[in-house]
Amino acid sequence: MTAAVATQGLTKRFRSGQVAVRDLDLHVPAGAVYGFLGPNGSGKTTTIRMLLGLVAPTSGDAELLGEAMPARRAGVLPRVGALVEGPAFHPYLSGRDNLRRADAADRTVDPRTSAARIDAALERVGLSAAATKRYRVYSLGMRQRLGLAAALLRPRELLVLDEPTNGLDPQGTREVRTLVRELAADGATVFVSTHLLAEVEQLCSHVGVMSAGQLVAQGTLAQVTAATGTRVRVEARDPRRAAAVLAEHGLSPATGTTGAAAGSAADGGAVVEAELAGADPERLLAALVASGAGVRQFALQRATLEDLFVTLTGEGFDVRA
C-alpha cells in the first residue's frame, strides 16, 4: 500500500445544484502527516465526510488504507480514528463515562481491556484530572481533547482530524502538535484539516490546498512552496532607483504608498520586493550597488506556505499559530 488515502474524480453535488467538491484526486502517502488546507467553504469538511462514509459522493472513487469506501467501511473504519466537526458526547456523563460508551460501541475490541485503554487515552490528551467531570462543564478545548481521546481508544493506522486544535490555548496546541508527531513516529498516517498555516509548516510532511471545491496544489511541503518561487528583498536609501534596476533586469517590483517601495525601513529608507524569476542574484546586487541606490540590505526569501495560499486562492487566511 503506497497511499493511506486516495481518491479519483471525487465529486459532491448537493440537491440545490451546488458543487461542494469537484473532481478531487487526493494522494496521501502512508506514514505522512498531511495538511489539508483551504478557506471556509472550500470543501474540506465535505471531503472528509465522504472519505469516512458519512456522506455519499455524487461520483468518483475513494480508498482508505487500500480499501474502497464506502463499500468496505465495516472492515476499514476500525483502523481509522476520526475527529470531525467537533466531538459529540452526552452532556450529563463524565468524560470517562462518555469514552466507556464510545468504546462499548466498537465490537472489534476486547472489552476486558477497556478500562486500561480509556485511562491511557485520557492520559495521552491530558484529561486524567478532569475524567470524572461532566462533559457539560468542559471548556471547548477540553471537549476537543476528549474527541481526540475517543479517536485514540485503540491503535489506529490512520487519523483523520478536522481542526484538532480548535479552542485550545497555545500550550494545548503544542501538546496536540507533539501528539501528532508521536502518532506519526509510531507509524500512523495523520490527515489534518486546519486553517493554521504556521502549524502546518512545523508539523506536516505533505500538503493539499483546496479552493472553491477543487484541489489546487498537492505534494510535499517543499514541492508546493517551491511553486511560488523566490523573492528578492532590497532595502535602499533610494527605492525608486532600486526598483528601476530590478525592472531593467526583467523583474516586476512591488509598488506601495511610496511609489516603488513595498514598505518603509526604520531609518528613512524603503524596501522594494520582487519575484526573482530566474535572475542572477549576484549580478542583480552588483547592479544595485553600481546604480547608487544606497543598498542597505539585500536578501532572498524562500516562499512560505502563506505565499502559496495567497497565490493559489487570493483568500484571507488566519496564519497565526
CATH number for 161: 3.40.50.300
Mean pLDDT of 13-23: 93
Does the pLDDT of residue 193 top 50, yes or no?
A: yes
Q: Is residue 107 part of a domain?
A: yes
Q: CB-side exposure of 188: number of CA atoms within 13 Å?
A: 24
pLDDT at 252: 85
Rounded (10°) angle between helices 170-185 and 140-151 = 10
- Tell me: the pLDDT tens digits for 74-105? 899 999 999 887 678 999 999 999 999 999 98
**Spatial separation of the C-alpha atoms in residues 248 and 231, rounded to whole Å:** 16
Query: What pLDDT sits at residue 176?
Result: 83
pLDDT for 313 beyond 90: no
**Per residue in 34-44, pLDDT tens?**
999 988 888 99
Q: Do 209 and 126 reside in the same domain of the chain?
A: yes
Give the pLDDT mean for 2-24: 94
CATH code, domain with 261: 3.30.70
Same domain, 92 and 198: yes
Asked if residue 63 is part of any domain, the answer here is yes
Give the end of a domain, one of 173, 195, 226.
Answer: 226
Does 306 score more than 80 pLDDT? no
Q: What is the dihedral of CA 132, 137, 139, 141, to 10 degrees?
A: 30
Domain count, the chain: 2
CA atoms within 13 A on the CB side of 18: 9
Q: Which of 6, 1, 2 is nearest to 63 (CA)?
A: 6
Asked if residue 236 and residue 209 are part of one domain, the reply reads no
List of residues 6+ apart from 194 with CB closer than 8 A:
35, 36, 37, 163, 164, 165, 200
Domain of 276 in residue numbering reads as 230-302
131, 149: one domain: yes
